[in-house]
Homo-oligomer: A and B are copies of this chain.
């Protein structure tokens, strides 16, 4: 719903029509390239690796993508889409907003991403920062879609009374995303999950104590 639809040239909705052979090949290339780019980065991934992973020759790849950069961009979208699907799993539409937030955090911390290499935003943020505008734009778009999702949850919680009105949606979203991504970075450096778990604990307490509407208690001003 949220992110991006990746609608590609031909009709092909989710269901009905067939895919041309070329379209199938294109998707296979993207799926094969995604973990490579996510693990090694843009510069660190060579066409030779992509050839090996796809089983195609260079010509076969370049027929479908104008450049390595274009392929990398689509691969990023693919990686982000699958990562996203993992992160929003088990979010019950009807549960209160604080529960949704905690489930999102849990998904981030506990679920292994289906595409190797971890969070693509983290992986690409630094490299795309320097002179790779096409990729940069995709990363920014992904980040904004994630932020928007979190903000929407907070807003809905405020409106439905499950979250305090003092909770600022943007700030909450920033806190959650920043501390999760930062902890992920630390966990990768240390090669353990300690940082992620400590951050999860903190976020859960933060959500319960400072964001969730106090049951039967009047709110205090200015808590956030």
Contacts and interface: CB of A to CB of B under 8 A. Distances in A.
A198 interface: yes
By secondary structure, the A interface counts as helix
Contact of A182 (B43, B130, B140, B182): B182
A199 B123 CA distance: 21
B129 A127 contact: no
B201 A126 contact: no
Contacts of A186: 143, 174, 177-178, 181
Interface residues of A, number: 41
B43 A189 contact: no
Contact of A140 (B40, B121, B189, B202): B189
A40 B129 CA distance: 9
B183 A199 contact: no
Given A174-B183, A178-B199, A179-B179, A39 B189 contact: no
A120 to B, nearest CB: 10
A130 to B, nearest CB: 5
Complex copy number for this chain: 4
A52 interface: no
B130 A40 contact: yes
A194 to B, nearest CB: 8
A185 interface: yes
A113 to B, nearest CB: 14
B43 A41 contact: yes
B44 A130 contact: yes
Contact of A185 (B182, B190, B195): B182
A198 B175 contact: yes
A127 B44 contact: yes
10 tightest Cβ-Cβ pairs between the two chains A and B: A182-B182, A178-B182, A181-B182, A178-B183, A179-B179, A43-B43, A174-B198, A171-B198, A174-B195, A125-B185
Interface of A: 39-41, 43-44, 121-123, 125-127, 129-130, 136, 139-140, 143, 170-171, 174-175, 177-183, 185-186, 188-190, 194-195, 198-199, 201-202, 205, 224
